[in-house]
Amino acid sequence: MGNDGGSIPTRRELVREAARTPTTAQLKETQRELQTHFWTTCPLSHKPLQRPIVSDCAGNLYNKDAILKILLSGEEIEGISSKADCEEILAGRVKGLRDVVELKFEVDTEREGNATANGNGEGKSEGWICPVTAKQLGPSVKAVYIVPCGHVFTEEAVRQLKQDKCLQCNEPYTEENVIPILPTKEDDKQRLIDRSKRLADQGLTHSLKKAPGSKKRKNKGNGDATTIPSTAAESNAASRESSAKTTISKNPSSAPASRSNTSTPTPSAPNGIKNAATAMLTARVLEEENEKKKRRKLMGASDNINSLFTKDSKDTQHKNTDFMTRGFSLPAARK
């Protein structure tokens, strides 16, 4: 019963040090390790983050192909976490591509050139920098992206310049549409939760696109169904659409002619996806899944596997045999 022939150790002898509350430095180190993991690894596929990368309304990062696999197939897919784990990670925030925004990172070309010159660039994730401050984006720098364009900057650059247009594409935005990436402060998390609730009340998704199934508000003046824009970009789009409708109503014959002169044929995309990059990625994911299904069918229809089992046929030679007794005959009973 004892450790040295009869002695019974007490708790004081077994537990030399009592459990201590982690210090601030230990908490920061743990938080930094967690942030580094989420900055480099997709939580769904457990693979390194590689462009195209998308983010949900909470600022989490995912590989776009992992999101597409989950949305296209409700079953468990090879290389992806189980369905229950995916639902727990996404927490109902991603129900379609409208609920995510594709991020546009500025690639650090100098870092890639040095890695290639040294011959150790394989297997390492590419580096991203802020196009304004040239700071390395990662767990040590607070980064944000703008909705709906998706360009990524440091929080310091956006705060100091104080502009209402994107610094790269001049897309108008509001302050509430500046989304922190992987926020750690409770204030930032609560702000993102409040923003998602306001957008849901307005019938919009995280990417400021109309949510499927949302009802339009009717204008009492003329009875037309209209939606109230929540951003400067939507107001500009609404004004352009209204002016185009006015022009067509005044001159109906000009609408078909202008459309035929300016429109260009677009290739057919799976599931009616208009974005060319998303359509190509979706087609590749579907092709991979079809190849896996074909391989499973071929394995099931293999002659070697089918030969192990008996089938109903007119040949009665192997009628009462199986793969254990086939090829052997039972000896006749001795008299």
On the 0-12 / 13-18 / 19+ scale of CB atoms within 10 A, 45 is buried
Query: How far is the C-alpha of 120 from the C-alpha of 313, rounded, in Å?
Result: 62
Residue 22 has pLDDT above 50, yes or no: yes
Query: How far is the C-alpha of 59 from the C-alpha of 256, rounded, in Å?
Result: 43
Look at residue 326 in the predicted model and tell me its pLDDT.
Answer: 57
131-155 tens-digit pLDDT: 999 999 999 999 999 999 999 999 9
SS3 of residue 239 by DSSP: helix
- Does the domain formed by 29-201 have CATH 3.40.50.720? no
197-221 tens-digit pLDDT: 999 999 999 999 998 876 655 444 4
For residue 62, what pLDDT band results from cuts at 50, 70 and 90? very high
Range of weakest confidence among 186-190, 292-296, 323-327: 323-327
CA 191 to chain centre: 21
Q: Are 127 and 107 in contact (CB under 8 A)?
A: yes
Please give the average per-residue pLDDT across 40-55, as a whole number.
Answer: 93
Average pLDDT of the chain is 75
Query: How far is the C-alpha of 283 from the C-alpha of 289, rounded, in Å?
Result: 10
Residue 115 has pLDDT above 60, yes or no: no
For residue 230, what pLDDT band results from cuts at 50, 70 and 90? very low
In the chain, what's the furthest Cα-to-Cα distance? 109
Please give the average per-residue pLDDT across 308-320, as a whole number.
Answer: 54
* DSSP characters over 27-70: HHHHHHHHHHHHHHB-TTT-SB--SSEEE-TT--EEEHHHHHHH
Q: How many CB atoms lie within 10 A of CB 150?
A: 22
Residue 83 has pLDDT above 70, yes or no: yes
Residue 180 has pLDDT above 80, yes or no: yes
DSSP state of 287: H
Residue 240 has pLDDT above 80, yes or no: no
Residue 286: φ, ψ to 5°: -65, -40
Query: How far is the C-alpha of 51 from the C-alpha of 54, rounded, in Å?
Result: 8
Beta strands in the chain (DSSP E): 53-55, 61-63, 101-103, 106-107, 128-129, 143-146, 152-154, 178-180, 217-218, 225-226
Look at residue 255 in the predicted model and tell me its pLDDT.
Answer: 44
**Verdict on whether the full-model pTM lies above 0.85:** no
251-303 tens-digit pLDDT: 544 444 444 443 444 444 455 566 677 777 777 777 777 777 777 776 665 56
Look at residue 8 in the predicted model and tell me its pLDDT.
Answer: 81
Look at residue 267 in the predicted model and tell me its pLDDT.
Answer: 44
Please give the average per-residue pLDDT across 67-72, as a whole number.
Answer: 88
31-36 long-range contacts, CB within 8 A, separation 24+: 31/184, 32/139, 32/140, 35/139, 35/182, 35/184, 36/138, 36/139
Residue 111 has pLDDT above 70, yes or no: no
Please give the average per-residue pLDDT across 224-247, as a whole number.
Answer: 50
Please give the average per-residue pLDDT across 297-323, as a whole number.
Answer: 58
Q: In terms of pLDDT, which residue wins out, 207 or 246?
A: 207
Query: How far is the C-alpha of 65 from the C-alpha of 80, rounded, in Å?
Result: 10
